[in-house]
Structure 1
């Protein structure tokens, strides 16, 4: 009952400015990511409460074009007005049990488990083939058993270097949201800058 959330939320997506303009003007729609290494399974990805991190992500793709599905010449961010619907919220203890059960089922039904792969100088699990397969298994089982499917998936990730020696926090810690049901997206907008003449609400 409580995992369903509180209704409308605002999240952010990094992209090229021309692409973002077409999304906001409803000339294009975001497409599901369908990589076998997607951290939260297949769907449309958004950053939670962090437009600056969404912009940094787009800027990184501009600098590393081979990682981008579409070339980014002018990085920007768009905001999304979302309703999470039936959310597999992995910050909820009960839903972590579902995730573990999904792993056990995957392990019992496959000859060779995919692996999460650590890359980079910080040796972080950036290629999440196992996690993606587990989450996709959960979706498949619910579909086959005619259970209500999850509209979205939400997860927290620790990323980057330690903020300070022996810290429990890292430079790029964040929460991501994967939207599976496009009807969760109620609209898009350009985030406004704060008017410094007034208090921020």
Structure 2
């Protein structure tokens, strides 16, 4: 499975999946085609065993990332280096900070701390991402809000499939 490892991946390195939202996944794929990054939009589903998951819908796991950020910020300060910043994509009408340089750096640092402590590495990271236009005036609900999973260990991907088409799931080759 293709692992993304860009400096702005919001959950850090991993193979990214939208949880239970093939519509949002296809919107993203079409957006990538419009930007000239792909020639054909496509969506693949997966059966994922989260295993050792850093789940950002869980307060304790968010606290881990927060502590990793504090440690990272101190290291950057001692080295006289600026902190990376999250940025918007050019032309984004909502000014969503889609380029997560700071978040990615905090996750990378957390993974280093986990490894240094001899702890079990995280296989997956799961988080809710707020994005898009407001659902209605005054709302904090956003039209493109979704849950994403970054799979760091390909062993967590148990099966790939193509999303429902005419009510039928079509399974892809075994992983």
Same fold at TM > 0.5: yes
Distance 1:33 1:141 in 2: 21
After TM superposition, the score normalised by the length of structure 1 is 0.77
In the alignment, structure 1 residue 80 sits paired with structure 2 residue 46: yes
After TM superposition, the score normalised by the length of structure 2 is 0.88
Question: Helix, strand or coil for the counterpart of 1:150?
Answer: coil
Distance 2:18 2:39 in 1: 18
- Write the deviation string for residues 107-155 of structure 1: whole angstroms up to 9, x where unpaired: 1111221111134221211110000000110001111221110001011
| CA RMSD in angstroms, aligned pairs only | 1.2
In the alignment, structure 1 residue 141 sits paired with structure 2 residue 113: yes
**What does 1:1-201 correspond to in 2, within 5 Å?**
30-65=1-36, 68=37, 71-73=38-40, 75-110=41-76, 111-119=81-89, 120-193=92-165, 195=167
Distance 1:76 1:96 in 2: 32
Distance 2:130 2:32 in 1: 20
Q: Runs of at least 4 residues of structure 1 off by over 6 A?
A: none
Question: Helix, strand or coil for the counterpart of 2:33?
Answer: helix
Q: If each structure's strand is expressed as a fraction of its own residues, which one has the higher value?
A: 1
Deviation at 1:56, TM superposition (A): 1.2
Distance 2:22 2:93 in 1: 26
Structure 1 unmatched runs, 5+: 1-29, 196-201
Structure 2 unmatched runs, 5+: 168-175
